[in-house]
Structure 1
Amino acid sequence: MNRPPLNRGKFPILGVNIDAVDYSYAVEQIITHARNKKPYAVSALAVHGVMTGFLDRIHQRRLNGLDLVVPDGQPVRWGLRLVYGIKLPDRVYGPELTLRVAEASAANSIPIYLYGSKMDTIEKFERVLQQKYPGIQIVGKEPSKFRKLTHEEKEAVVQRIKQSGAQVVFVGLGCPRQEVWAYEYRQSLSMPLLAVGAAFDFHAGILPQAPGWMQKRGLEWVFRLIQEPRRLWRRYLFLNPLYSLYLLAQAMHIRTLPAVMPNYQEKEESYG
């Protein structure tokens, strides 16, 4: 027996509003907005994504301006339980959500646009989607320019996506660039914009995913750190303990911890 979609509302985790929802609700809302051609910016946030908002108040406002922010990481899901007593059946993992939306889009004849990453990765991802979901409509694709776009270039991107006939955009720019992109383009594109991050690389076979047992236990970060230690060590070894500390403080209603605004910044700053 199918359960009705679960939506318990928005709840702030370290100042970032997280939607306590399941896969069914997320897919249903994305497909509904695609059919109705309504703006709908979506992101799946793990600890790193939450911490980008915690450490940067401007970015926090962007994240809280998105329509749907699902708990991608198990520690974010556990945070909802620790602070608010909300027990979700599972996290809403971005790469899995991507496949479910692709499947629903194929079933409902909803065209998809792929934006971000490198062209080789996009083409491999496209082939995987076509093999998994016969009849899926990928009506456009373009790679990231790996830099900030000019106003004219942004307008050209909007026009290309509109002219393609797409009703959903999968955005694979990495966190936090993809959330910035979804926030900035939301009003210009009347369709769901899904910030899906590493889904492009995972499903294209560029990066391996952590084993299921590691994912269930919130140890995916360990697997990724082993895969890319030079790029990710500061992200995980600094941000994960900080997340745990401030989450515990939030759960205990401790407000005396000093505001933390360290000079933490990854080198990937391009948004287009």
Structure 2
Amino acid sequence: MMKSTAGHRVLGAFINTLTWDDAIAGIHKWASVRESRYVCICNVHSVVTARFNRHFSRVIENADMATPDGAPVAWMLRRLGVPKQERINGPDLMLRYCRFAAEAGESIFLYGGRSETLQLLEQRLKRDFPSLKIAGMVSPPFRTLSVEEDQEIVDKINASGASTVWVSLGCPKQEQWMAEHRDRILAVMIGVGAAFDFHAGTLARAPGWMQRNGFEWLHRLCNDPARLWKRYLVTNTLFIGLAAVQLLRGIVSRHS
């Protein structure tokens, strides 16, 4: 496993403890020599899924970096001994790194989303970061790719010269895709969930105060209740219960 040893387990999933500067510097270190790595942005859904899905647990465990997305995950790390741990989320990491890449002369690749979303996203990124090099974009079909189709995409990404690939397929699909393509795609892959839609303007992001106070999930639930109500009802409830058990065990072990 290539992941840094700086971190804690949250419900069993190893999450790195790091700052924004640490995350960007780590990605850049790998990207500058086009190492095949992948970064998981871990929210409540990710760590709960990893708790009950052995295959997905291995995907997170083998990630080169796993950042604490979601206020509850960052909160758990603060309770576990990292008092200043911030939430390192996908949409903001993508914009921060695009700004860095534009200044450093690095090129990026966009994988995921609909074609219309990618076009709008490209316009937004070029407007905000005029010198950013977008080496290519692919909107994959919503089905399993054939071996030939998959290889064609791998070849296109590698031939583009991009040093980072921003992947927007949703959890857990994007994490599984990145894990399957490590050592095949010569770039750092970062799974950013709904970031493409947020930045393209096709999906409204929660106001800043909701993001800062851990209520971004509520905003998303209100905007898409039919699809998300079960996920949030189940995963949030499980997270609260399992987090309480983990913290209680920690208190007991310290006093035993």
Which residue in the other structure is 1:17 paired with? 14
1:150 aligns with 2:131: no
Which residue of the partner structure matches residue 126 of structure 2?
130
Who is 2:91 aligned against?
95
CA shift in 2, pair 1:122/1:90, >3 Å = same
Residue pair 2:78, 2:85 contacting (<8 A) in 1 also: no
Partner of 1:204: 200
Read off the aligned partner of 1:143 and give its amino acid letter: S
What displacement does 1:238 show? Answer: 1.1
Distance, in Å, in 2 between the alignment partners of 1:145 and 1:118 is 9
Scaled by the length of structure 2, the TM-score of the pair is 0.93
Q: What is the Cα deviation at residue 10 of structure 1?
A: 2.4
Q: Deviations over 1:50-69 (max 9, x none)?
A: 11211201110011111001
Corresponding position: 1:55 with 2:52: yes
Give structure 1 stretches of 5+ with no counterpart: 1-6, 255-272
1:216 positional shift: 1.2
Q: Kindly tell me the number of residue pairs found equivalent between the two proteins.
A: 247
* Cα root mean square deviation, aligned: 1.4
**Distance in structure 1 (CA, Å) of the matches to 2:77 and 2:210:** 20
CA contact (8 A) 2:18 2:85 kept: no
Give SS of 2:236's match. Answer: helix
| Residues 20, 88 of structure 1: 8 Å contact kept | no
Displacement of 1:89 after TM fit? 4.4
Q: TM-score, normalised by structure 1?
A: 0.88
Q: How far off is 1:36 after superposition? A: 1.4
Percent sequence identity is 38
More helix by share: 2
- Contact 2:74-2:85 within 8 A present in 1 as well: no
CA contact (8 A) 2:17 2:85 kept: no
Shift in Å, 1:239: 0.8
Which of 140, 153, 159 is the aligned partner of 2:155? 159
- Structure 2: any 5+ residue segments left out of the alignment? 251-256
Aligned equivalents of 2:184 and 2:155: distance in 1? Answer: 9
Aligned residue in 2 for 1:77: 74
Tell me if structure 2 keeps the 8 A contact 1:77–1:88. Answer: no
Please give the alpha-carbon distance, in whole angstroms, between the structure 1 residues aligned to 2:42 and 2:68: 6
